[in-house]
Amino acid sequence: MNEQTDVKKLTFKDFETDQEVRWCPGCGDYAILKSVQMTLANIGATPENTVFVSGIGCSSRFPYYVETYGFHTIHGRAPAVATGVKLANPDLDVWLVTGDGDGLSIGGNHMLHVLRRNVDMQIMLFNNEIYGLTKGQYSPTSKPGSKTPSTPMGSVDLPLSPCSFALGAGARFVARGIDTALKALPITLERAKDHKGASFVEIFQNCIVFNDGTFDQFTQKKTAANSQIHAVHGERMIFGKEKDKGLVFNLEKFALEIVTIGENGVKEDDILVHDETNKMMAHMLVELTAPDFPVVCGVIYCNPEESYNDAVHNQMNAAKSAKKADFNALIRQGRTWIVD
């Protein structure tokens, strides 16, 4: 790894490449790219120590547009490739870019295991609830009834909730963001980067061509305040234009519910305080869906454990200090004989 004299701080422009960006005009991917480039600048990333790994899909073209090392792999396999990269060279800062098809359909198993193993990397899942690159077939996150070229009568599968899946897989960091949220997203990504272990960030991304407006219910500026909560550790789960709505746990129903501060004797103090280390709370928060509930963004769960790569390298180091690497001795262990 190489020392870098910090003569000049890099700006997000320094993370742009010479490649022309090839997404459809108006695609949410542009904004995410910008957020990521800003994040890299904010955290003072060293380009040569940063690697972007992706699968296949519109979103997976991402690495070509970030001035770092990059690997555009094959469909669904990015988590496995990224695991290899991180294990081989743990000093690299690894970012993974994937889509709802790439990461949860064909790549579901690798996503499951990279989360379970807790390999240190930032995983950005661009969820547009559609297969963009192959022209609009429904994906495992598409809403039931989606009419697409492969489901002319509407899809009948129950969709997957990416964050719910991630928690079930044992992820130790789960967060959410919105493509166009150019202020909030870099903050969330910075938290993801700070977390040592696999950080899972679902990003709602609008595919303007094949699934335009699928998240409008909670991403539109005019309704956002009433339909989103930005979770902050230690703060109360309050939302609404008037900051008068909040979440409480109803023991009777054994579920979260929305209350209005000032109504029925509800006080601000009654509102649930977000504890990002509490997995049960995380489970409840990720399952809240529009329009009945606000959609929870920001860092929903963060509860670090030793990363897989650290554990592997600790073992390697332990072995190295316990035994000498003497190849001639190795093959002479056990019973040998001399012919003369």
Site for ligand TPP in 101-130 (CB under 6 A): 101-102, 126, 128, 130
Instruction: Residue 56: name the closest of 81, 79, 32, 73 by CA.
Output: 73
Pattern 119-138, another protein, x by CB under 8 A: ------------xxxxx-xx
Among 37, 105, 128, 307, binds ligand SF4 (CB under 6 A): 128
Which residues neighbour 88 within 8 Å (Cβ) at sequence distance 6 or greater? Answer: none
Site string for ligand TPP, 123-162 (x = CB under 6 A): ---x-x-xxxxx----x-----------------------
172-178-179-185 Cα dihedral, nearest 10 degrees: -60
The closest of 31, 34, 220, 28 to 128, measured between CA atoms, is 28
* 246 touching ligand TPP, by CB under 6 A: no
In the shown chain, the binding pattern of residues 15 to 54 toward ligand TPP, with x for contact by CB under 6 A and - for none, equals: ----------------------------------------
Q: Which is nearer to another protein, 90 or 240 (CB)?
A: 90
| CA pair distance 96, 67, nearest whole angstrom | 15
Is residue 330 a contact point for a copy of itself (CB under 8 A)? no
Q: Round to whole Å and give the CA distance between 292 and 257.
A: 10
Q: Give me the least distance between CB of 275 and a copy of itself, in Å please.
A: 7
Under rule CB under 5 A, which residues in 72-101 are in contact with Mg ion?
Answer: 99-100
First to last CA, the chain: 50
Structure tokens at 205: 């991304």
For the CB of residue 280, give the shortest distance to Mg ion in the complex, in Å: 29
Q: Phi/psi zone of residue 265: left (φ > 0), alpha (ψ -120 to 50 degrees), beta?
A: left
Interface residues toward ligand TPP, by CB under 6 A: 56-59, 75, 99-102, 126, 128, 130-134, 139
